[in-house]
Every structure is written in C-alpha cells, then in structure tokens.
Structure 1
C-alpha cells in the first residue's frame, strides 16, 4: 500500500504533465497503481473496507481470553475446537489492532532531582574471575541522582550487615548524605509493604537516622524510578568486569574504587558534563557526615571448641589453648574478627570474606613442637577424682551427649558437687542401665530421690504435735 507521501508525489508529477509511464518508472511502482491514485484524486490513504477474518469471532475471543488466563495459544485451540479456521498470526494481529488483552502503552517520562535530594541504591548478581576461579558475586551500587556520581563494591553475599558496610563506604566516598536513599523493595531493608507503604526494618531505620536520611521504595513495576542506579550495571558488566581478573576480594574492590574515580571524571554525552564537576556543586547541598562514624559490626557469642578454635560463618579462628571450653564474644567487622574473653584478653584476626571452611591460626597460638596440648576436658579429671564410680557413665556421656562435651561434663560435675552421693549414684546407675544421657532428666531423677529420702512428710494427724 502506498504511503501518503508517495500518493502526493504522483499527483504533483501528474500536474506537471509527466506521463503515467514515467511516473511509474521514477517511483518504481506499477502503472495500474498510478492510474488508481489519479482516479481517486486524493493523497489520503484509503481505509480498508474488507472485513477482518477474526471479526465473526470477536465476542468469543473476549469470553475465552479471561478463561484461558490471557494465553492466546489456548484461545486459538478453543476456537479451533469450535470449528473456527484461524492462524495464530491472524489472531495475535487482530488482538493487537483492537487492544484485546493488551495493556495500554504509557510514555516512560523522566524524573528530575535537585542537588542533594536523592541517592539510589541497588544490587545485581554478576560473575567475576576471582583467585583463578569463576565466582558469582553481588554488585552493590549507589548513584547520586543529580550529578550521577557512581560508587560500587562487590560482595560474596549481601545481607543487612553487608548493606550497612556498603552504605557507609558510599557515604564516605561522596563525603556527604542525600536527603533520601531510594531502594528496590529489597527484603534487606524492607520489613513490610511496598512503594509509599514500605516500612523499613527497625535496624535499618536506626542506621538511617544516625546519618540523617530516610529509605524510600519505588512502586512495584515502576522501573524508571530507579533508572539512575539500574543503568550503570550494564556498564559495569561490559566494561569493568570484561577481561579483568582479580587476586582476592580486597584487590577486586580496590580496582572497583579506582574505576569509579576514572569514570566519574569522564565526560558523559547524555549529561553534556562531567559527573565530578556536577558533584562539586551538589556536594554543597549534601548533609555532612557525623563527626564520628563507628565501624559497622556484628556481635556473636561462641564457645571455644576442644581444638582451640571459634567458628564464624563456617571459618575457624584460633584462640589461646587455655580458652578451651570458655564462652567468648566475637565482634565481626568488614575486615576483622575480634574475639574477646574479657577486657584484658583480646585476639584479632583478618576476616575471611566468604564461607570457605578455612582454619585461620595465629603463630602465637601454635604450641611449640614436642609440647602436648593441655587436656581439653579438665572437668573429666575432677569427676573421676570425686566420684570414680561413674567413670563408665562419663565415658559413654562423651560419646552420646547431645550437648557440647565440655558443657555436659560441667553440668555433671556441678550435680556431683551439689547433691548427696547416694541418690546421685543411684540415679546415674539407672540412667546408665537404660542408656539415658539427657542430664536434665538425670537431674530430675536425683531430685525425686532426694525428696523421697530427705523430705518425708508426716500425714498422720494423730502424730501431729
């Protein structure tokens, strides 16, 4: 079908006394088509007057579409079962032309931000060559919406701890805080709700209050709202990660920071400016960082195992051997593991970034060659010294107890010291006979014997004084 411009050209050439044959040769169309346009005498494209093949089935299509959950393949199968002879392209073209089952197209639009108004944050999975292996990582990115200053780091996982570590690094990189941080309804920050109804996790809300910003989330399906931070992910994958390999996590994130410095100092055609130059003006509108920014950390309580290690995220960190069986407090930061027994005893390790089941031992915790490690269970020696009659039960308890061996031995030692000897030995003997190694039940058995033997009640009213 000829367009309106072609029909106009035919009429103009005809008005200039150009022959029909010459018009057809110049425009590369048939003479019959030229004659039809000349007979109509109008440049307007005529409307199609023929009926569409799907018109007789329009109502049936409208009824079947919701029943088939919008699947046009199923709609075509049902129409064919009722005797209709249609092709799939004819059905889909008919639905497109008449807007059947089609969401109305809405213009994308554009968001404008004033300096210091908003910073957008999001994450995306990528693959990197790390330590000679192909690894999956989580790329966390932050962008200032006005100047388009970019900062990103990569992590093995991305939990709330990692989110706070990243945001602190981003705010230090920008040396200021925007009024709000826009997120993508991530469960790391969101407690419940989406969009304007989003309620952040109290932990993350308190973190935002410390720096003076607030978290906001875009509405579901409104991808343009977070376009400032979504767009650089493709650039990171195709530029920064392409053809690069990294020795370890520290090398990876140092190169990422250097790459951000270089990219932020590069002219951007879509901005017609350099982000670093726009940032000089935006920085004046950012809220200054607090005078003191504490290091982000996680606290754990652990029991030192019989080999002299403390386990954090499957990795085992050494402590002095005389801490075996003691309860310690572990402070985990982005780069360190601090294990504290009390105010005067502290051990610091370099943190292993991922769950790798490594054993990390400091040189001072390694016993000298030829020196035997101390007995991991001094409680066992005390038990055998105080009550040698229960030696067999102690040996079986070490094999079958569901508690940590050191905790079970300590509980049994306390029971031996606190309760009378005869009820205790009788209860332990009965527990050993039935293979009972639940010390809480054994203790109740002791208490029943103690109550029966030592706290007899006189229920005879005649003998009452």
Structure 2
C-alpha cells in the first residue's frame, strides 16, 4: 500500500487554508473535493494509504501447482538437467493441453517462484556473499585468462595475473601457454615488480600447474613436487578455492581484474611481432593502472600499494630456475620433439641427445653446455618451428631439396627470405642452371652467419641490378654497406634501387683485394742465379749451341 505525493501536498494545502480562515464549503469550491475528503485532511496530516487491489485472475492459475512441482523436483536434479522456462512451457502444452497460456506468462511466474520454492524447501538463496576485510600485505590472488593477439595471424595466448587483495595492485604477464613454466615465471616476475611476497595466503584455482589431485570435498590437495619446491623457496602459503564455478567468487578480485585488463588494454586486438614486445606493453599498462580508483575508494591503487609494499616479505637471495629440462634425441630430419612440438637444430647434431631448457615463451637447446639453438615456443600441439640456417650444410649437398623444404616456407612467412632473395635466385638459376644457381644462393645464405641480415639483402639487390650472380660479389657489396654504416652511424643504410634506374657497378672480390694492397716497388724476379748452378754441374764450361741444357 502506498500514498501519492500529490495527495500529501493537497492535504497540506487544505490544512493551511483552513488555518487561514476558509470554511469547509469554501475549501470544497477551491479544491473540487467532497466534505469527507476535507474532513479527513483536517483530522490527519497524512492521507490514508490506498488499498491495493488483489491479484487478478490469470489463465495460468490452474497450472501454477504443476509449475511449482517441477521447480521442487529441480532442487535435487543434476545441475545440467534442470527445467528451463522453455521446457516447463513445452510440458504444459504437451502433457496438460494448456493451450490458453503464453510463454511470457510462464517466464514471469518462474522468475519469481523459483527463488520462493528454494526458501520454502529450506535451501536458502541461490548465492550469498559476505564482505571481507583484507590487511595490507597479507593476501593475494592468482589466475590465468585467455587473450588474443595478432602475430601475423590471430593467436591465442594466456594472461597471468597476480593481484594484491588490499591495494588492488596487479601484475600481468603474457605467455604462449598456461603450463607450469608460465605459472612459475609469472610469479617470479610479479614478486620482482612488487618487491616482496605476501605474508599470508595466495588464492588459486585447481589448475594442473599447482594441483595434481583434489582430495574429496575438502580443501586438501596433492601438489606436484616442483610446485612444492617453488612454494618453499619463495615462502608461499597456498589456498585452493572450491572446484568449478562455485569457487570463482572466492577469488573474485583477480577474476574481475583480468576482465578489466582485457577490456581496457586488449581492445582493439594488439598487433605485435614477438611476445617480448607485448610484455613490454603490458608492463607499461600495469604502471598506468596504478592511477585508477576501484569503486568508491578514496585513494588510487598506487597510493594504497605504497602503504602495502613495506608490509610484504623480502625476496629470497638465490634465484629459482623456472624452466624445465628435457633430453630429446635429434631425429634424421634434424629436429627434436618437446611437448608434442618439433624444433630444428643444426643437422650436424643428428642422432645426438641434447639438453633442452623450456621456458614459458622460449626454448633453449644445449650441446655439451654450449647453446646451439633458440626458438620461440609454440602454443599449439603438433606444430613445427624450423630455422633455414640449420639445414644449409645438408642443402648444399642436396640442392634439389631446397625449393620444397619446409624451412624455406617458414623463412618466407617470417620475412627472413625476402623477395630480393627470390629474384636473385631466379637470375642465378637462369645463368648457371638449377643446381649451380641454387648452390650459389645457399652460399649467400651461409654469409648471414657472420653478416647483418639487412646489409646482406642490400648487397643482394646491388648484385642483382648489375648481374653479378656469385656469392663473392654479394659478400663484397654487403661489406661495403656494413663499412658505410660503420664509418657514419647516423647515415641510413642505402636502399636498393629498382632495376634500370641509375648506374650500378660491382667490384669482384679478386680485384677488390688487389686494389687494397700497398704498391709493390720490388724489382721483377729473375732466374739468372740458377744458371750459375748449371755451369758448375758441367765443369764450368758453357754449353755449346745445339747441346741440351
């Protein structure tokens, strides 16, 4: 029951006029009301509330007990096999011939009645939250979230987030996977940025990197050994939320933080060449977010963190190796397999067993303690990452395998094998034949091991314009570009001109070497001294004409 605000104002006006001397009849004429209304206004300054009408009869009334029975049956039904409004409506039509009702009637009734049925059964509300107070430096929350970036093609990555519960300060890290290596590296990066470790609990999901097995319905978990060692090293006290969606609210701060960070910094989708470049951007965004306020707080995240940071535990002195070691064997294709993905190594290592250190975003290969290969880690399964340089020694012996090699296609996709390479290769094959022309190109690619890639491409372009189709000519022109850059660091590298424009010259390697030698002032060599030996062998006599000497 409710009272209209206009009626309260009307009562106040009539009481005011009556005190001013107006009679009841005058009040009737002025306000156009009956004497009963005036009498009620003079007797009470608050109007009587209007009686609310009872519920109107509905065509759904005969079927409401049936709907209640379905909702009560849902209380003990499996979570994914409860009645939806559509299913209730269909059952009323099929089983009870309820042709006079509409879907909107059923939906409006179920929206109110479902909660009442839970209360009547003593189940309480569907979800209830209790406000919590967090002490500075005491707790934190950790979680992973999915993000997409453009690295040539749309690529799915994983966003690690560690958020302090008191200040709301969060540190993020993007990696190619959400495995244990990324989990560890995210913690190490976050602790180094925060300058300490929370003194109390850190809340986690039941992710595989930290939980091997959930023991019944309790909070106890079986943890992997590496995670136990990592926690012990950093002094982390873990707290695991309830499995599934029911435990998401137990670390709602980091759940909301990931959504906020993704909406505000990954829209539009960032386009980067490498994850290292993206993580530099993420570090800048973390600093920017310190200036924001969370809900109705009086201070910014950065101001609260300045008060919280001294309360954190100090960092350990010794580092902890976050990567995982593997010992794969190199197959006959010059590849190793790590976590169902294949990576190339130099073909001279075929048949050997190597040591591989796998980090979250990169993979380093060692042979007898020496680094022999380094790859950006693949986030898919069954993929391959091949480096063309690893196969050059084999390809120079088998040039026929070069055009269709997978490493060549990946080099083209990555931009390492440019259109200038293709044009020079076509010209070399036209001049020397397929086999010799391909060998010449492989010799040029071998130069990249001790020459700058940009200088080598510029040398290729110059050699192509003048028709110098040998590796020596390309090497010489590349050295010219490198020397010009070294003499004047501020001068940009010369850009190759299109064929037919300007006059380009090329100096062959033997001519270049001779031109750089100092002038030779020595007399020409003579063999006259050897004639004296001939005379001594003949007894000092000079050979006569016609006699053999």
Per the normalisation by structure 1, the TM-score is: 0.66
Distance in 2 (CA, whole Å) between partners of 1:175 and 1:357 is 38
Asked whether the equivalents of residues 330 and 350 of structure 2 are also in contact (C-alpha less than 8 Å), the reply is yes
**Corresponding residue of 1:116:** 137
Question: Does residue 344 of structure 2 align to residue 317 of structure 1?
Answer: yes
Q: Deviations over 1:127-150 (max 9, x none)?
A: 22x234332222221111112111
Deviation of 1:158 (Å): 1.0
Check the 8 A contact 1:118/1:144 in 2, yes or no. Answer: yes
1:254 CA drift (Å) = 0.9
Q: Which residue of 2 aligns with 1:165?
A: 185
Partner of 2:337: helix, strand, or coil? Answer: strand
Q: Aligned to 1:139, what secondary structure does the other structure show?
A: strand
* 5+ long unaligned stretches in structure 1: 25-30, 374-465
Question: 1: distance between equivalents of 2:294 and 2:154?
Answer: 32
Per the alignment, residue 512 of structure 2 pairs with none
- The answer as to 2:85 corresponding to 1:89 is no
Query: Contact between 2:343 and 2:375, CA under 8 Å: does it hold in 1?
Result: no
Confirm whether residue 65 of structure 1 aligns to residue 60 of structure 2: no
Indicate the SS of the match to 2:207.
Answer: coil
- Cα pair distance change 1:209/1:60, threshold 3 Å: same
CA distance in 1, matches of 2:10, 2:206: 58
Q: Which has the higher contact order (CA 8 A, sep 6+)?
A: 1
Residue pair 1:205, 1:214 contacting (<8 A) in 2 also: no
Q: Residue 236 of structure 1 corresponds to which residue in structure 2?
A: 261
Deviations 1:205-238 (A, max 9, x none): 3322221112212335254432221222233223
Name the larger-Rg structure. 2
Q: For 1:77 and 1:66, how far apart are their aligned partners in 2?
A: 18
2:385 maps to: 358
Deviations 1:429-451 (A, max 9, x none): xxxxxxxxxxxxxxxxxxxxxxx
Give the Cα–Cα distance (whole angstroms) in 2 for the partners of residues 188 and 23 of structure 1: 78
Secondary structure (helix, strand or coil) at the match of 1:152 reads: strand
Which residue of the partner structure matches residue 454 of structure 2?
Answer: none
State how far apart, in whole Å, the 2-side matches of 1:338 and 1:96 are.
Answer: 58
Please report how far the alpha carbon of residue 163 of structure 1 lies from its aligned counterpart in structure 2 after TM superposition: 1.1
Superposed, 1:45-64 pairs within 5 Å as 45-50=50-55, 52-53=57-58, 54-64=60-70
SS of the equivalent of 1:225 reads: helix
Conservation of the 8 A alpha-carbon contact between 1:180 and 1:213 = yes
Distance in 2 between residues matched to 1:172 and 1:207, nearest whole Å: 15
Shift of 1:353: 4.8
1:432 maps to which residue? Answer: none
- The superposition leaves residues 292-324 of structure 1 with CA deviations (integer Å, 9 ceiling, x where unpaired) of 122311122211122433233524231361x32
1:196/1:217 contact within 8 Å kept: no
Partners of 1:187 and 1:10 in 2: CA distance: 70
Q: Following the alignment from structure 2 to structure 1, what is the Cα–Cα distance between the partners of residues 241 and 30?
A: 61
CA distance in 1 between counterparts of 2:31 and 2:105 reads 35
Report what 1:199 is aligned to: 221
Structure 2: which 5+ residue stretches go unaligned? Answer: 18-25, 75-81, 119-123, 400-549
Residue number among 149, 158, 172 corresponding to 1:152 in the alignment: 172
- Counterpart contact for 2:375–2:385, Cα < 8 Å: no
- Alignment of 1:285 onto 2:311: yes
- 1:30-68 CA-to-partner distances (Å, cap 9, x unmatched) read x99x97x97998442423334543554443332233557
Shift of 1:105: 6.3
- CA–CA distance in 2 between the matches of 1:176 and 1:334? 22
Kept after mapping to 2: 8 A contact 1:315/1:352: no
Q: SS in structure 1 opposite 2:328?
A: strand
> Measured at CA, do residues 55 and 8 of structure 1 come closer, stay the same or move farther in structure 2, by a change above 3 Å?
farther
Give the superposition deviation at 1:4: 4.8
Write the distance in 1 (CA, Å) between the matches of 2:313 and 2:353.
42
Maintained 8 Å contact 2:214/2:221: yes
Counterparts of 2:176 and 2:28 in 1: how far apart (Å)?
Answer: 73
Q: Contact 1:5–1:43 at 8 Å: present in 2 too?
A: no
Whether 2:233 is the aligned partner of 1:210: answer yes
Counterparts in 2 of 1:345 and 1:237: CA distance versus 1, 3 Å? closer
Instruction: Check conservation: 1:137, 1:157, Cα contact below 8 A.
Output: yes
Contact 2:85/2:110 (8 A) holds in 1: no
State whether structure 2 residue 155 is matched by structure 1 residue 142: no
**Residue range with higher mean Cα deviation, 215-224 or 12-21:** 12-21
**Structure-2 change in CA distance of 1:13 and 1:289 (3 Å):** same
Cα-to-partner distance string for 1:320-368 (whole Å, 9 max, x where unaligned) = 61x32122232223465343444x55534244354452213667x8439
Q: Higher strand proportion, which one?
A: 1
Query: Residues of 2 paired with 1:328 and 1:97: CA distance?
Result: 66
Give the Å deviation of 1:152: 0.8
